[in-house]
Structure 1
Amino acid sequence: MIRRTHWSVSKLHRIETGAVTVQPVDLEALLRMYGVRDRGQVAELIDLALISRRRQWWSSYRLDPEYREFVAYESEASRITVYQALLIPGLLQTELYAKAATASIGKKSDDTDVQNAIDVRMRRQAELFGRIAGSRPPELVALLDGAVLERPIGGADVMRAQLDHLVEVARQPHVRLVVVPLRHGARPGPGGLFELLQFRGTADPDVVFVQSPVKDFVVKDPDATAAYHDIVDAIVGSGLTRDAAVEEIRRIRDGL
């Protein structure tokens, strides 16, 4: 292999041991050498190589171990379902809304911690929507309680811009918003935040990230993740989707 690729022994060793990720151009050379010619298979493997190179972007941020594990899972999920009881989910927040929301959380009171949390959130968004624009896009499902849409975090101007952003995001392919209006009465769903992550194929089990004021944790137990599937189904069943969801967001926006 070294003779045919003209790589150094140290480069090959770093790739084989996982010390570095393989670059797409090097992967293409390897695939040609191994006789892989199918364009679809080549494209899929290159996408995986790109994902592996993005996988460590979070290493430059200060993150708790549980949150770091969650971000790693999120970066590879093929379907992301997010619910947050009191706020717009982080993956859909504008930066001004994120600043106002994060500053209001006691455990992030330090200015440096607030900015770090916002930077990570914005980077998660950029990574996700970059993947959505790619050749193997994940699906994003956001479950939005009506009270969250009417709570003017950061003031009326910030909230109007946030709701406008939701309308724009809803137009993107592979993004689905579910809105449960206040007029629908009691709605299913826990307090706090959870994110249900699913992966292509059957080998990788679902994962749920749960955030609370006390502790963040990653749930992998199949019985527990199945319970979150039931919660998601109940919320979707009681909410508005597609054009009806967008119209509800616009109605609330116009009333601010």
Structure 2
Amino acid sequence: MRNPYSPTLRLRRLATELKQGREHANLTVAQAGTALGWTASKISKIETTETKRINPGDLDKLMDLYEITDPDKRRAMHALARDAKERGWWSKYREVFGDQALPDFEAEASAIRSFEGLVIPGLLQTPEYAEALFQGGRYTGPEDIERRVQARISRREILTRFDPVWLRVVMDEAALRRMIGGPRTMAAQMRHLLYMAQLPNIDIQLLPFDVGSHAALVAPFSILEFPDPLNAPIVHVGTVTDSVFFEQPGDVERYNATFGDIQGTAISTSQTATFIDDLARSLESTP
């Protein structure tokens, strides 16, 4: 069974709790290190999540120093430390997702707002579309492509689980017009989009060509929000070689503003559904 949470977020939450505990105890990083006979660097690495594993003994010492005495609070912090050691399902696809895996954050997200300019967003792709998409890149063997497709399709579970992610997507018309895999593959992809758009937790909006210039003529991006207030929103931007995550409030706010702009420019969800249905019918009638 897949973990319903993000080990990375659990580690970040624990680090935040420990930093707040130190500050409430009116201790600097250096003072905390001296009191425990540790280096200031060790305290700093724990608080910045550079240290990926915090053993129970060290955690107890930190909580004792910071006078965190509430039994429930201590149990909760130990639970965070244990959860942070777990490996999510995406760890077996490390060669696909890299060291900072987007699914690690998606697993615990409560809402995702995503813009895509050239292709169908990964969370809404069919296996056939994803396979054709990967075949268009640099040559790799069929086994590698199959792994990539499996990894991408596995991400979709967050949309249909018991407590699904709230997904808001804005796509440029180019994402629908680009012929990936041929008419049959594209027609099936359009029908899948229409099916997903009927789910109460998913909204899909289109930016038609005729709107001209818009605020998101940039790289695709996603804004992820989390239910726990200790986990601040983050922005994910995919690149050719890796994933980039922006966490500074100013950066996140700029992406929030951009997404708000393109949502206002895009046509409505019902108009988008009509557009996609017309396109699907056209593709289905292609010889």
**Counterpart position of 1:78:** 110
Query: Are residues 1:128 and 2:155 paired?
Result: no
Helix, strand or coil for the counterpart of 1:250? Answer: helix
Percent of aligned pairs sharing the same letter: 28
Residue 68 of structure 1 and its aligned partner are, at CA, apart by 3.9
Give runs of aligned pairs for residues 164-179 of structure 1, distance below 5 A. 164-179=191-206
Matched, 1:104 2:133: no
2:236 to 177, 184, 209: 209
What residue ranges of structure 1 are gaps of 5+ in the alignment? 1-15, 19-33, 35-47
Secondary structure of 2:204 counterpart: strand
Q: Which runs of 5+ in 2 are unaligned?
A: 1-53, 57-70, 72-79
TM-score of the superposed pair, with normalisation by structure 1: 0.72
After TM superposition, give the deviation of residue 56 of structure 1 in Å. Answer: 0.9
Number of residue-to-residue matches in the alignment: 207
Give yes or no for contact 1:208–1:218 (8 Å, CA) kept in 2.
Answer: yes
Larger Rg, first or second structure (1 or 2): 2
Q: Relative to structure 1, is the Cα distance of residues 17 and 104 closer, same or farther in structure 2, using a 3 angstrom cutoff?
A: same
Give 3-state SS (helix, strand or coil) of 1:196's partner: strand
Change (3 A) 1:97 1:54: farther
Structure 1 residues 54 and 153, CA gap change in structure 2 (3 angstroms) = farther
Q: Is residue 58–residue 68 contact of structure 1 (8 Å, CA) maintained in 2?
A: no
Question: Per-residue deviation at 1:97?
Answer: 0.4
Report the alpha carbon displacement of residue 225 of structure 1 after superposing the two structures with TM: 1.2
Cα distance in 1 for residues equivalent to 2:186 and 2:172: 15
Asked if 1:191 is matched to 2:192, the reply is no
Relative distance call for 1:52 and 1:78 in structure 2 (3 A) is: farther
| 1:244 corresponds to which of 271, 275, 278 | 271
Partner Cα separation in structure 2 for residue 64 and residue 167 of structure 1: 28
Residues 178 and 241, structure 1, Cα contact 8 Å, conserved in 2: yes
Shift of 1:17: 6.5
* Mapped partners of 1:214, 1:115: distance in 2: 19
Pick closer, same or farther for the CA change 1:211–1:100 going to 2, 3 Å: same
CA distance in 1, matches of 2:84, 2:170: 29
RMSD: 2.8
Q: Is the 8 A contact 1:84 1:191 kept in 2?
A: no
Question: Are the equivalent residues in 1 in contact too, given 2:234–2:245 (CA < 8 A)?
Answer: yes
Cα displacement (A) at 1:67: 5.7
Deviations 1:87-114 (A, max 9, x none): 00010001100000111122x7343332
